[in-house]
Chains A and B, each alone.
Chain A
Amino acid sequence: MKKTKNILFAFLLALIPFMVSAQIDGEFVKARTGTFLLKNATVMTVTNGTLENASVLIKDGMIAGVGTNLSEDGAEVIDLSGMFIYPGMIDGGTSLGAVEVNSVAETVDNREIGNVTPNMQILTTINPNSVAIPVTRVSGVTTVLSKPVGGLFPGTAALINLNGYTPDQMYAGFKGVVMNFPSSARRGRFDRRSDDDIEKAKEKAVKEANDIWENAVNFHQMQSEGAEMQYYPEMEQLAKVVAKELPLLIEVNAASDILNAIDWVEGKDINVIFMGCDEGWRVAEELAESGIPVIAGPVQDLPTRASDRYDAAYANPGKMMKAGVKVAIRTNEVENVRNLPFHAAYAGAYGMGKEEALKAVTIVPAEIFGVADKYGSIEEGKRANLLVSTGDPFETSSDIMHVFIEGYRIPLSNRHIRLYQEFLERDPGLGN
């Protein structure tokens, strides 16, 4: 029960400033900002090694200092003896905030009708009050890429922090247009098309992608030469990719598709990030040579082929990394993005190594998304997104004791925890 008490204790601590004014039984605990000095911790900076017995000062939403002799003046001091500070984890691919209950169509907002809808903005549909958000962030995941799914160009993904009351308050400074690269793989066991039909469908889709791309290039050229364009929001959005204002996030998984995608990208002067790459390990050399970064995962996943070694998906990120690919990790989840640390741990155990696995959910995705000046490590001047844990945050036996997002101290509660508090010792118990 030790750890439970710790969690409850942390929860009660968060309550203290409100107790004086609390009039309503069980008043809600809000996230709150301020100046916090996190003292006497082991700081895992990720970019500058490990600092023993160090402190982190949080002020104005920023990490205002990292070191040993930081002033306590005006700061709420939190003693973290025996505990560890890590950067908040970043999930490089989810639909968190855009889907509430997957089987209830009314709550599924990540999948619009149409094959070419790059102008669909996931940020528009992010629900800051999604029940899954507090469930996720108590695990130390502070930032996620939320993305649309569906057709060839299903929409525009956005990086969000898991705190805030409007999508704009949550927005973390990165957007990208998603492309599902035409695939030669089967969609599942129910996909009973012949090999020929699959090949034909893929070729048709590639041709369509090329035609659309040509249009986007022309659209952009005419636009930049000052032509007056008709209202064409799809092309306007794709033109931003052509203009390198937005990167293209290409979901591609089967080995031959990855090679095709590398070819497709070649010669196009655009910024590209690959997502998924389930079979990246088969073409790791080619991927490395392309220089295209990969957001891999889910890691806890089945092999794509019955003949593959059982641990193909676990080992995939490590194999790509060792070949020289820049690899971040994603869950591709909605309600269980909280499992990001476990996906990373599996990548770590199966070849990537713990240290690199930690980077793959912190500084590496921050670099891939171009926000490494703000997120991904414990450094002075970065935004204060961090977690405090009793040990390795990838281990289930460790507890996450504090989470800060943009300098806000996040209450460590959510519906799962509240149900635990209510039902562990139900009253009345048995009987009428």
Chain B
Amino acid sequence: MLGLISLNGLAQAPKGSVLIQNATVITITNGNMEDADVLVEDGIIKKIGQDLRAPNGVEVIDATGKYLMPGIIDAHSHQGLDVVNEASAPITSEVQMKDVVNPTSIGLYRALAGGVTVSHAMHGSANVIGGQNATIKHRWGTINPEDIIMEDAPRTIKFALGENPTRVHGRGNGIQPRTRMGVEAIIRNGFNEALQYKKAWEDYNSNPNGSTNPPRYNERLQTLVDILDGKIIIHCHSYRADEIYMLINVCKEFGVDKLVFQHTNEGFKVAPEIAKYTMGASVFADWWAYKFEVYYSTAYNAAILSRNGAITSINSDSGELIRHLYHEAAKTQRYGDLTDEEALALITINPARQLGIDDKIGSIEEGKHGDLVIFNEHPLSVYAIPQMTFVDGIKYFDINEDADDQRISVSPTEMVEPIYLTEENHRCMQGTIRYYGENLFKHSH
């Protein structure tokens, strides 16, 4: 036991060095550079330029004719999580996804094979205020969950509006919220209770030698206090314009400006408000009509949001889509004519901004992490195939060298390897079906 603890305590992510030469470097923030080299030392991009020399012992990769871009960032994923929903109350802000991270989940390798180096492993959408999410780096090969938690990434928390929390709690449990009015009330009540809790502690702390006992510690309320104090970024599952507008108003009232909307299918209707008052929206490229609240969607959503000045990203929420986010981003050229730069920002620097890690990743700049992906063709071409993917300068995916079978753990209880014909891709509502019956959840976002 002691050994395990000290091992965890010492766990430090491995960092590597590599020189990638002669690529078309898509920096995202500073345009493209033809025939350029990128040198990563000890996990950090040291130099970008021409004719760079590799220090002794540093591997050189010739990327002539290929494209190098920053590792793709998925602002909404459930890959690498053993559980997704703590669907037991409308507010469960005390639970943390970092407690259920599983670094051996094959979905993480498949994401690397799609050039994705960082994902936002989120709580599900069963509750109005769900659990705290984990930002993870896809360091494939470790069995220690701590190794893949991104150091220094800000705390984020899942909120959810609309059909999912009203189904789970209103229709499933017969408690508030059953409507979008109830959803607002849950948030207001939670925030106000948190303010009372904060004041109780402030009163106690201002006079610790007084006669009152310290307030009883409450992790759920303390987390809400941290949200109100701007220490946690809200990532809110949302679809309809009315509910998006509601949360903007509530957050304005409580002085909260660290707010990102997730899915946001009707975000295009309130794009000016999202642009002005929030950290933007993270959307699907083209998913719609799988449930009623996404029936009035448009695949032009990302383009409308971008052109209105909202920070916009494209996410997967899916073990399948996470493997081709570059293609999902490319759809904004069919649906709204975004430029190459705008389209690629949707899966790099913009999600980095929404996760509060744009000082570390999301572009190829000196001083940023060596999270990189090499493509055989321009990443916005439908025929593009990722060739190699690096996290912190270490190569975790190589299309030519990797074995087919990349499993780290194999279940000893499975005599025959299971075949999944309808893989559970979309796990926003995972963990709720068994409580409330399948009929309530024919979809899962």
Contacts and interface: CB of A to CB of B under 8 A. Distances in A.
Q: Which of B295, B422, B423, B443 has the most CB of A within 10 A?
A: B422
Interface stretch (A45-53, A119-127, A401-409, A415-423): A415-423
Interface residues of B, number: 66
B417 A306 contact: yes
Contacts of A253: 421
Given A131-B289, A132-B289, A188-B422, A350 B336 contact: no
Contacts of A415: 296, 298
B380 A101 contact: no
Q: Determine the main DSSP class of B at the interface with A.
A: loop
Given A102-B443, A430-B276, A186 B320 contact: no
A302 B425 contact: yes
Interface string B303-318: 1100110000000000
A396 interface: yes
Nearest to B445: A103
B421 A187 contact: yes
A104 B288 CA distance: 13
Say what secondary structure dominates the interface of chain A. Answer: loop
Contact of A426 (B106, B272, B334, B424): B272
Given A102-B289, A349-B382, A416-B335, A188 B420 contact: yes
Given A2-B337, A420-B336, A307 B407 contact: yes
A188 B423 contact: yes
Interface stretch (B122-130, B202-210, B214-222, B323-331): B323-331
A397 to B, nearest CB: 5
Contacts of B304: 420, 423-424
Given A278-B421, A300-B320, A416-B300, A336 B287 contact: yes
A335 B382 contact: no
Given A394-B382, A416-B300, A335 B288 contact: yes
Given A103-B290, A311-B113, 19 more contacts: A4-B336, A103-B163, A184-B419, A186-B419, A188-B422, A253-B421, A304-B419, A305-B420, A306-B106, A310-B323, A334-B289, A336-B287, A338-B286, A342-B327, A349-B385, A416-B298, A416-B299, A417-B300, A419-B300
Listed from nearest, the 5 A-B pairs whose CB atoms lie closest are A420-B300, A335-B289, A309-B404, A103-B291, A185-B419
Interface of B: 106, 109-110, 113, 163, 268-269, 271-273, 276, 286-292, 295-300, 303-304, 307-308, 319-320, 323-324, 327, 330-331, 333-337, 380-385, 404-407, 415-425, 433-434, 441-443
21 contacts: A3-B337, A101-B292, A102-B290, A188-B422, A188-B424, A190-B434, A304-B420, A304-B421, A306-B106, A310-B323, A336-B288, A338-B286, A345-B383, A394-B383, A396-B330, A397-B380, A416-B288, A420-B303, A426-B269, A426-B271, A426-B272
